Structure 1
Amino acid sequence: MSANSTALRRKRAATAGFHLSAGTLALLWLLPIALVVVTSLRSFDDIAANGLGGLPRSFTLDNFRQAWVDGGQQRALINSLIVTVPCVLVTLALAAMAAFALSRYELPLRRSLLLLMLGGNLLPPQILLIPVSKLSELIGVYDTLPALIGVQIGFGVGFYVFVLHGFMRAIPAEIQQAAVVDGAGPWQIFWRVILPLTRPALAALSALSFTWIFNDLLWAITVLRSDTKMPITAALIGLQGQYVSQWNVIAAGSVIAAAPTVAVFLRFQRHFVAGLNLGAVK
């Protein structure tokens, strides 16, 4: 009985220590976010009088209006959505079809194609900035949103094919054979059989790709030049130059820039976790 009591106390102490450590790490991670949110709601006079680390004495939503209207965040957010939404849909559609063909059919050089796609994602993007910029100028699409869309699709589809190939390849072949016996063609097998089974992976990749593309800055400043066409990440840098000392407006712009990705993650959180768990056991 004494040994059992000692073991129980050790287990409880270990559990309490784990929760305490996890809670402390969570607080440390959330502290900067909370500081930005609180700063975005404070007036400039309050911050000037009490400092960024002081207790807030006033709350206002005028900072969001300044960032949204005067700072150009509204136009920048629309540009980001114009780029991000088509990129996510087109990239995942192309990747799903390519992964289906490479995983379910004996195609020649399919391993080489997969390695080529994976190798393209291992290249540092910095060495491709000048070639991509010059190529967009030669094609005549430089400083246009379609150029940014094309770059995001081109550099994203290889990684998504590699991930989806692993999920689709693990689907039992008997399911596809049964569909063939029932008279289903390749398109019907892909659309009605394989694609629904890949929904957790597609949901996880949708959340990841939306976050990556929406938060991208490197390719935006590479193929775009006009301020009216910049996405919200580039506009946030311009906001910092426009409101140099008004940290409340800059914080409000940061909250606006982060809101869409947070909303997407919360919407796909269940599928995202399921996709990660499914990938872990495979």
Structure 2
Amino acid sequence: MKIALVGNNDGPLRLYNSMKHVGLTPVFVGLQKEPSAAVLSRYEEEVEIELNTNFQEEKLLKHLTALNERPDLIMNCFCNFKFVQLLDHYIVLNVHPSPLPLYRGRHPLHWALINGEQSFGISIHEMTQDFDAGAIYWQKMIRVPKACSVQLLRERLMKELESDFGSFLKRYIHEEIIPIPNPREKATYIKRRYPADSELTEWNDGAMIYRKIHALKSEDHPAFIHLNEQKIPIFDAEMSLGKAETVSKVTITKVNPDGILVTSKDGRILTLRIKHPEDYSLEKNQVIS
């Protein structure tokens, strides 16, 4: 069986190395967008066939059609365009970083951490015209570390994928995999996140504020508050074990050299870490929400 690997970032590289470990080589490796210089360097060092970059569906279809060895299967690991024409010509399996049928949609890792999931998973499923709806061929669950960031959870899940993908593919090739249903009636759906969604607004639930800060501390758009007509990034947080009385307004109760102390509306006592808090004219009793 001839395999094409497509996706973004280090996704196809992880699949490639897992295939190589079990003696398999894809006929095509492609990245929808050119990755960072560091990741691109890894592709150049580790991938022994030509790397194709910068495509949407129509261009990818032309690339695959022009190959001397037409692939029997496309493995997609994080291309973010909708496959339509490709599904008419190829079997496509897709990597989705959630325990399907739960968390269908974009940004499942962000939502899982914000929602406080204690375990989470990653799935390989058949790609269909409906997003994240095809039969499930492989799935792995892990425990979510405390105070986990999106980056850390992604890395833990991708290690599981890389460790097992080569052997999964061999079983798939020999038709030893029996897919399991991905029922719509058991599915949960999540919204795509935007930079503005990183604002801390969930002050009725201090534990959620804490989880959100930790989830986003690895991201390009970390958690933030608006105060003094300024956007103030929050790069870390601590939460006291005890609880204070509930409050109607969230105010700064103390200004520290590395951040501020606040009490959420449900009585959670939180230390919000801020780089250079002196730059923001923060004062005790200022209202946050």
The TM-score range, normalised by the shorter chain, is under 0.3
Q: TM-score, normalised by structure 1?
A: 0.25
**TM-score normalised by structure 2 residue count:** 0.24
Q: Which has the higher helix share?
A: 1
